[in-house]
């Protein structure tokens, strides 16, 4: 393992004013997104859509540091035969790859899940590295509900995250460690903070046990937010204050950067919250974005599967990437949001 090189890549992934595009939707998820805009989810349509994003020169070169790809996408070529990974590299961004294989029921823990994909991961990582991937992503899913999460679910998922991270570093790939506490329930923000701190503390404990070099990884956590069904929705200032306190309590300063997931927040909420946490300042790590739907909902709608809508789709993508770039520096305002439209 060349830790200096891993650290260099991790720092580039969270460079000032840049963040990650999570274009790693599974086949089922991208179908749902395409169904919503009336587009058939064929391999060609998926390629055309992602090619549109990767050829958005201003967005990719100015605001995007890296792209998380799905297995199908990393092997695809653009219409002119250029590998999609090369389009990303030519724009100055870093190609990455989602390597987990989704979730499955956790035995003896009703309603809880564990992420699969460790089998033969070392072999897959070698192939992804040869294709150009320099970082990877593994998502663990922790739900909040009556009697959950259990310590079993937290421990099993933290162990898998750490095992994945160790395998990545052995393959000279930067691991994005993503323990996501879902916002789907009716819990308030304080319950989110309580559970997320338990999850983060256990995750870093496992990372140390498995000798993962913290300087060569990126953390992708959820923010401290209220559950979608909660009667009490925390405001932007409270989200920012409690998110920063939560991270300070749990995340070692040696981690090179933190890239938040959007986790089902609206486009503008995800941007406003990112801006607010960065306005607090005085933190040991850069705080940026690793957004999927919060970056893509607008360009998907503008594109709607039509070739003549590609410029409109690229403009919408550039706009959202620009707004999140500003937010990652604590420079976003609602006025800029409107002016840029």
Domain ranges in the chain are 3-339
Average pLDDT estimate for 43-70 = 97
The Cα 137–Cα 100 span in angstroms is 7
Reference 136, options 177, 184, 183; nearest CA is: 177
Give the pTM: 0.96
Q: Which residues are designated catalytic?
A: 178, 220
pLDDT > 80? residue 183: yes
Q: What is the pLDDT of residues 143-166, one digit of tens each?
A: 999 999 999 999 999 999 999 999
pLDDT > 90? residue 337: no
Cβ count near 163 (within 10 Å) = 17
Correct CATH for 3-339 of 3.20.20.70, 3.10.580.10, 1.10.260.40, 3.20.20.150: 3.20.20.70
The Cα 84–Cα 57 span in angstroms is 14
In percent, the amount of the chain with pLDDT more than 70 equals 99
Cβ-in-10-Å burial (0-12, 13-18, 19+) of 272 comes to buried
Reference 67, options 85, 44, 41; nearest CA is: 85
- Residue 137 exposure: Cα atoms within 13 Å on the Cβ side: 31
Q: Residue 341: its pLDDT value, please?
A: 55
Are 137 and 95 in contact, with CB atoms under 8 Å apart? no
pLDDT > 60? residue 188: yes
Q: Residue 299: its pLDDT value, please?
A: 97
In which residue are the tokens 């996408």 written?
Answer: 73
Contacts of 92 (CB under 8 A, 6+ apart): 60, 61
Cβ count near 7 (within 10 Å) = 18
Phi/psi class of residue 234: alpha, beta or left (left: φ > 0; alpha: ψ in -120 to 50)? beta
Q: What is the pLDDT of residues 258-317, one digit of tens each?
A: 999 998 888 999 999 999 999 998 999 999 999 999 999 999 999 999 999 999 999 999
Q: CA dist 64 to 20, 136, 322, Å?
A: 6, 16, 9
pLDDT > 70? residue 210: yes
pLDDT > 70? residue 340: no
Between 281 and 100, the more confident residue is 100
Q: Residue 41: its pLDDT value, please?
A: 96
Assigned token pair, 178? 């993503």
pLDDT > 70? residue 14: yes
Contacts of 82 (CB under 8 A, 6+ apart): none
Please report which confidence band the pLDDT of residue 335 belongs to, taking 50, 70 and 90 as the band edges. confident
Cis peptide before 155 (omega within 30 of 0): no
Contacts of 73 (CB under 8 A, 6+ apart): 23, 24, 46, 47, 50, 84
The Cα 274–Cα 233 span in angstroms is 17
Q: How far is CA 29 from the centre of its chain?
A: 15
In which residue are the tokens 């941007």 written?
Answer: 271
């Amino acid at each position: 393992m060349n830790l200096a090189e891993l650290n260099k890549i991790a720092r580039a992934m969270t460079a000032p004013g840049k963040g990650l595009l999570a274009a790693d939707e599974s086949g089922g998820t991208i179908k749902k997104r395409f169904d919503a805009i009336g587009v058939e989810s064929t391999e060609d349509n998926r390629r055309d859509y992602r090619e549109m994003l990767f050829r958005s020169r201003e967005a990719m070169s100015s605001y995007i540091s890296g792209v998380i790809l799905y297995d199908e996408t990393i092997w695809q070529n653009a219409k002119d035969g250029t590998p999609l990974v090369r389009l990303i590299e030519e724009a100055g961004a870093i190609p990455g790859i989602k390597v987990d294989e989704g979730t499955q029921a956790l035995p003896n823990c009703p309603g809880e899940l564990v992420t699969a994909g460790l089998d033969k991961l070392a072999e897959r990582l070698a192939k992804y590295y040869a294709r150009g991937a320099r970082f990877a992503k593994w998502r663990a899913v922790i739900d909040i509900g009556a009697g959950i999460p259990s310590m079993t679910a937290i421990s099993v998922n933290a162990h898998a995250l750490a095992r994945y991270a160790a395998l990545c570093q052995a393959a000279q790939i930067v691991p994005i460690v993503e323990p996501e506490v879902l916002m789907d329930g009716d819990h308030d923000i304080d319950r989110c903070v309580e559970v997320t701190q338990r999850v983060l503390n256990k995750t870093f404990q496992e990372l140390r046990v498995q000798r993962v070099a913290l300087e060569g990884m990126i953390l992708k956590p959820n923010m401290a937010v209220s559950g979608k069904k909660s009667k009490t929705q925390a405001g932007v200032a409270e989200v920012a204050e409690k998110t920063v306190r939560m991270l300070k309590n749990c995340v070692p300063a040696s981690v090179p950067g933190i890239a938040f997931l959007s986790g089902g927040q609206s486009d503008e909420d995800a941007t406003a919250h990112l801006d607010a946490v960065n306005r607090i300042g005085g933190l040991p790590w850069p705080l940026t974005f690793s957004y999927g739907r919060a970056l893509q909902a607008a360009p998907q709608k503008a594109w709607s599967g039509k070739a003549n809508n590609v410029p409109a789709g690229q403009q919408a993508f550039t706009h959202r990437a620009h707004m999140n770039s500003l937010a990652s520096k604590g420079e976003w305002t609602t006025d800029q949001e409107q002016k840029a439209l």
